[in-house]
Amino acid sequence: MILPKTGAAPSTYRVDLFVADKNRLAKAQLFRELFVKTAEPTYPRYNVERWPDPLVPEDSVTLDEGLECAVFWVDVHLPANMPTGPILCGVSVENDEQQDIPIAVPVQVVGGLELAPNDYPFIGWFQPSWGGGELSDDQYRDMCGMVLAHHMYPMDALRHYWDAEDPGKFDQLHQYLAERGMKLFDIGWLGDEEMTALYDHVKAQGWLDQAVIYSNADEPDDETFANSNIPFCQMIHKKYPGLRVYLASEWHKDMAQGCDIWMTDVSSHRYDPPVHRNIKHPELWHYYCHLPVRWQMRDPLVMAPNMQIDNPALEHRLALIMSHHYGAKGVFTWTGFAGGPPQDFWETLQLSDQPSGFPYAGIHNGNNFRVYPPREEGGAVLPSLRLKVTRAALEDIALLRAGQQMIDEGRIDGEAAQRLQELINPVPELFRDFHYWDRTPQALLTWHEQILQTLANIVE
Q: If we measure between CA atoms, which residue out of 379, 387, 317 comes closest to residue 346?
A: 379
**Dihedral of CA 418/419/423/427: which sign?**
positive
DSSP string, 149-173: HTT-EETTGGGG---SS-THHHHHH
CATH number of 117-399: 3.20.20
User: Is pLDDT at 66 greater than 80 in this prediction?
Assistant: no
Question: From the CB of residue 51, how many other CB atoms can be counted at a distance below 10 Å?
Answer: 22
- Per the CB < 8 A criterion, the answer to whether 155 and 184 are in contact is yes
- Per the CB < 8 A criterion, the answer to whether 18 and 92 are in contact is yes
Question: From the CB of residue 118, how many other CB atoms can be counted at a distance below 10 Å?
Answer: 19
pLDDT given for residue 457 in this prediction: 85
Name the pLDDT band for 76 (thresholds 50, 70, 90). very high
Name the pLDDT band for 247 (thresholds 50, 70, 90). very high
pTM score: 0.96
Pairing type for strands 11-20 and 85-94 reads antiparallel
User: Which residues have a Cβ under 8 Å from the Cβ of 260 and sit 6 or more positions away?
Assistant: 212, 233, 244, 245, 246, 281, 282, 283
Reported as a single tens digit per residue, the pLDDT across 249-305 is 999 999 999 999 999 999 999 999 999 999 999 999 999 988 888 989 988 888 999
Name the pLDDT band for 404 (thresholds 50, 70, 90). very high
Query: Phi first, then psi: what are they for 76, rounded to 5°?
Result: -110, 115
Residues of the chain with CATH 3.20.20: 117-399
- The SS3 call for residue 131 is coil
- For range 428-443, the mean pLDDT: 95
